[in-house]
Structure 1
C-alpha cells in the first residue's frame, strides 16, 4: 500500500514543478528540457523495448504511424492542424492513462516474494516526469480543472491496477494491447518533439539554452537512475537497460581516443574547410577517427574493408564534383575546441541515436535474419537522415553486438555517412547509379568474403566506467551549450522543415533553430 501512495504522490509533483518553473522564460526552458529528455528517453529506452518484446517488428510500424501520422495530417490539412494536434494529445494522454493500470499491477508484483522492491521504486520514479509532463502539456491548453482531472484519473487507474484481480490485468496486458500502446507511444513522442504551447519563439536569440541544458541534464540524471534501478530490479527489460549500458561502457574509451585523433588531425591541418574536395570527403566519410572504433571493436578486417570502401566512394564523389551537404560552420581556431567541443556537438546526437536505434531494431524479438531485409531496414533509417561517421561506426558496432549479419554491419559502416536524401539531391542520376553500383558490389563482397568480427581491445571495467563518466561530461557540456532541442535539431532536419509550434496563432514566425 505504501508503494501505491508513493506513486500517487510522485504524480502530484507535476503541478508543484509547473508552478515554480513557469515563473520565468529561463525556468520554462529548463522545465521543457527536463520533459523533453526524461519523457522522450523513458519512451525510447524503457517502454519501447518492452513493447518490442511482446509485439515484434510490427510494433515499430505502429510507433511510426503514431509519431509521423499527425505531422503528415497537419501538412495535408492545414485548416484542421489544431484538431489533429488535440486528437494526438488526447491519444498520448489516453495511452499514459492505460499505462498507469499496468504500473499498479507491477507494484503488486514487486511485493511478491522473490521479486525486488526496486521494480516498485522504478515505477514510482518514472511517474515524476510523467506527472510533470501531464501538467506541462494540459494546463496551458485546457486549464487547471481538466489537468487536475487527468491526474486524479491516473491515480484512480493506478489503484485499479493495484487492487484489480488477475483477470482484469490479463485483459489489459501488453500482449493484448501491444499495438495500441505502440501507436500511442508514437503519439507521445510526437507531442514531446513539438513544444506544446509555442514558447520556442520566446527565445529567438538562444538566451535560455543554458537553462534548457540544465533541465535536460536533470532529465538525463533521472534516466540514468531509472536504468540503474531497472537493471538491478528485474530482467524483463534487460535488453533495454543492460545492453544499452554495456554498449555505452564498451565504446566510451574508444570515443575519447577518436576525439583525441580528431584533435590531432585538425592540428595537422586536416580541416573540414580544406579547399580540396577529396580532403573534405575523406573527413566526412571516415574522419579518419571513425576507423579507430572499427579497428579496435570490430577487428582489422572490418577496418580494412571500411577504409577501402570509403576510399572508393570518396574518390567517386570527388571526381564527380559532388558537394557535401550540411557543411561545418563557425570552426574554432583551437584544435582542442574542435575535437572536444565542435565535433562533439555534431557527433554526440548521432552517437546517442545510433545506440538507441540499435537497441530497438537489434532487439532479439525482431527476427530479421535475412541480410537483405536487414539492409532494407537500415536503408529506411539512413535516407531521411545524415549520419556522421562516428555515429555510423557506433551503429555498426551495436548491430554487430546484437547479432546482425556482416552485410548489415558493413552497410552501416560505408553507407550511413553518405546515403541520405539531402546528399542524394546534390548528385546527378548518373552519380546516384554509380554510387548504388559501388554499394551493391561492396555488400556482395561482404556477404561472401568478410570474416566474422572480433573485439581487438578489451579494457578493465574501471577504465570503461571512468571513460563513460568523461564522455558523459563532454556530452553534458554540449547539452549545456546548445540546449536539448538544438542539440537534436540535426537529427530532425528533414522532418522538421515545416515544423510547427502547435500554438496555431495567426502570424507566428517559424524559427526552428536549424543549423545546417
Structure 2
C-alpha cells in the first residue's frame, strides 16, 4: 500500500515541478529537455524492448504507424492538422493511462518477499517524468482542469491495477494488448517529438539569448539521462520479471564499452586529416565525397572492430560509388557550411556534433532489430528492412559503421552488415533526389553487386584488438563527457534535428525547417 501511495505522490509532483520550472524561458527550456529525453528514453529503452518481447517485429510496424501516421495525415489533410494532432495527443495519453494499470500490477509483485525493492523504486521514479509529461503535453492544449483529470485517472487506474487481481491484469497483459500498446507508444513518441508549445517558446526565447536557453535545455536533458541511468540500473536488479531488460541493457553497455576507445581514435583521425588539409569545404568534389562516404575515420571502426578484410570490402565499394558520383558531378547532401579552424575542435566538437546522434541511434536500432524476438534471420529480409530504414534518414559514415558492427555482433548476415557500411551514408531520399534516373540505377546496381559479392565470398569478421576493461571504461567516460558537451552546446532538439527529418510543418516548426536547410 505504501508503494501505491508513493507512486501517486510521484505523479502529483509533475504539476508542482511544472509550476515552478516554467515561469522563465530558460527553465522552460530545461523542463522541455528533461521531458524530451526522459520520456523518450523510457519508451526506447524500457517500453519498446518489452513490446518486442511479446509482439515481435510486427510490434515495430505498429509503433512506426503510430509515430509517423499523424505526420502523414497532417501533410495529406493540412486543413485538419490541428484535429489530427489533438487526436494523436489523446492516443498518447491513453497509452500512458493503459501503462499505469500494469504499473499497479507490478507494484503487487514488488511487495513479494523474493523481489528486490529496486523494482518498486524504479516504478515510482519513472512516474516522475510521466507526471511531468502529462502536464507538459495536456495543459497547453486543453487547460489545467483536463490535465488534472488525466492525472486523477492515472491514479485511479494505478489503484485498479493494484487491487484488481490477476484476472484483470491477465486481460490487459501485453500478450493481449501488445499491438494496441505498440500503436499508442508510437503516438507518445510523436507528441513528444512534435510538441508545438515547446517550439513556440524556444523560438521566442531564441531571439534574445539562444545559446543561453539551449544550454538550459541541455542541462535538463542531462538530468533526464541521469534519471534514465538510475532507472535502468534499478530495472536490472528488479527480479525475474525484468530479466529481458537486464540482458538488453547489458548488451548495449557491452557494445558501448567495446566501441568507445576506437570511436575516440576515429575522432582523433578526423582532426588529423583536417590538419593535413582534408577539409569538408575542399574545392575538389572527390575529396568531399571521400569524407561523406568514409571520412576516412569510419574505416578505423570497421578495421579494428570487424577486421581489415571487411574494411577492404567497404573501401572498394565506397571508392567505386565515390568515383561514379564525382564523375557525374553529384553534390553530397549535408554540406558543412561552417567549420572551426582548430583541428582539435574539428575532431572532438564539430564531428561529434554531427555524428553523436547517429552513433546513439545506431546502437539503439541494433539493440531493437537485433532482438531475439524479432525473426529476421533471412539475409534478404535483413537487407530489405535496412534499405527501408535508410531511405528517410541521412546517416553519417560513423553512424553507419556503428550500426554495421552492432548488427554483426547481433548475428546478422554479412550482406546486411556490408549494406550498412556502404549504403547508409548515401541511400536516402535527400541524396537520391540530387541524382537523375540513370545515376540512381547505377548506384543501386553497385550496392547490389557489392552485396552479391559479399554473399558469395562471405568474409568473416573478427575484432582486431581487444582493450583492457579499464581502458574501455575510461574511454567510455571520456566519450560520454564529449557527447554531453555536444548536448549542452546544441540542446536536445537541435542535437537530434538530423535524425528527425520528417517533421510536419503544421506544428509551427519554422525553426526546425530552417535548421534543415542549413544542414
Give the structure-2-normalised TM-score: 0.95
Q: How does 1:213-232 map to 2 (within 5 A)?
A: 213-232=218-237
Q: Contact 2:93 / 2:134 at 8 angstroms: preserved in 1?
A: yes
1:48 Cα deviation (Å)? Answer: 0.5
Structure-2 residue corresponding to 1:153: 153
1:19 Cα deviation (Å)? Answer: 0.6
Counterparts of 1:68 and 1:199 in 2: how far apart (Å)?
A: 24
1:59 Cα deviation (Å)? Answer: 0.6
Counterparts of 1:183 and 1:432 in 2: how far apart (Å)?
A: 34
Structure-1 residue corresponding to 2:77: 77
1:120 Cα deviation (Å)? Answer: 1.6
> Match for 1:274 among 270, 282, 286?
282
Specify whether residues 82 and 153 from structure 1 end up closer, same or farther in structure 2 by C-alpha distance, changes over 3 A only.
same
Specify whether residues 297 and 509 from structure 1 end up closer, same or farther in structure 2 by C-alpha distance, changes over 3 A only.
closer
> Match for 2:345 among 333, 337, 340?
337
Structure-2 residue corresponding to 1:435: 443
- Partner SS, residue 236 of structure 1: helix
Structure-2 residue corresponding to 1:122: 122
Do structure 1's residue 244 and structure 2's residue 252 form an aligned pair? yes
- Please give the per-residue CA displacement for 1:48-69, whole angstroms capped at 9, x wherever unaligned: 0110110011111111111111
1:501 Cα deviation (Å)? Answer: 3.6
1:113 Cα deviation (Å)? Answer: 3.5
Q: Which moved further from structure 2: 153-162 or 482-491? A: 153-162
Structure-1 residue corresponding to 2:11: 11
Q: Contact 1:239 / 1:363 at 8 angstroms: preserved in 2?
A: no
Q: Contact 2:74 / 2:504 at 8 angstroms: preserved in 1?
A: no
Counterparts of 1:481 and 1:343 in 2: how far apart (Å)?
A: 13
Structure-2 residue corresponding to 1:370: 378
1:123 Cα deviation (Å)? Answer: 1.1
Q: How does 1:384-395 map to 2 (within 5 A)?
A: 384-395=392-403
- Please give the per-residue CA displacement for 1:57-97, whole angstroms capped at 9, x wherever unaligned: 11111111111111111122222211111111111111101
Specify whether residues 250 and 329 from structure 1 end up closer, same or farther in structure 2 by C-alpha distance, changes over 3 A only.
same
1:245 Cα deviation (Å)? Answer: 1.7
1:497 Cα deviation (Å)? Answer: 6.0
1:356 Cα deviation (Å)? Answer: 1.2
- Please give the per-residue CA displacement for 1:459-512, whole angstroms capped at 9, x wherever unaligned: 22222221111111111111111111111111123x12635249xxxxx98865
Q: Contact 2:194 / 2:503 at 8 angstroms: preserved in 1?
A: no
Specify whether residues 251 and 510 from structure 1 end up closer, same or farther in structure 2 by C-alpha distance, changes over 3 A only.
closer
Counterparts of 1:104 and 1:254 in 2: how far apart (Å)?
A: 44
- Please give the per-residue CA displacement for 1:163-200, whole angstroms capped at 9, x wherever unaligned: 22111111000000000000000000000001242323
RMSD in angstroms over aligned alpha carbons? 1.6
Structure 2, gaps ≥5 residues long: none
1:295 Cα deviation (Å)? Answer: 1.1
Counterparts of 1:509 and 1:278 in 2: how far apart (Å)?
A: 32
Give the structure-1-normalised TM-score: 0.96
- Partner SS, residue 7 of structure 1: helix
Q: Contact 2:30 / 2:219 at 8 angstroms: preserved in 1?
A: yes
Runs of 4+ aligned residues of structure 1 deviating over 4 Å after TM superposition are 508-512
> Match for 2:308 among 282, 300, 308?
300
Q: How does 1:274-423 map to 2 (within 5 A)?
A: 274-423=282-431
Q: Contact 2:214 / 2:491 at 8 angstroms: preserved in 1?
A: yes
Counterparts of 1:252 and 1:230 in 2: how far apart (Å)?
A: 24
Structure-2 residue corresponding to 1:505: none
Counterparts of 1:281 and 1:395 in 2: how far apart (Å)?
A: 20
Structure 1, gaps ≥5 residues long: 503-507
- How many residue pairs end up in the alignment? 510
Structure-2 residue corresponding to 1:46: 46
> Match for 2:204 among 180, 186, 202?
202
Q: Which moved further from structure 2: 460-469 or 54-63? A: 460-469
> Match for 1:450 among 436, 455, 458?
458
Structure-1 residue corresponding to 2:184: 184
Counterparts of 1:350 and 1:499 in 2: how far apart (Å)?
A: 26
Q: Contact 2:71 / 2:504 at 8 angstroms: preserved in 1?
A: no
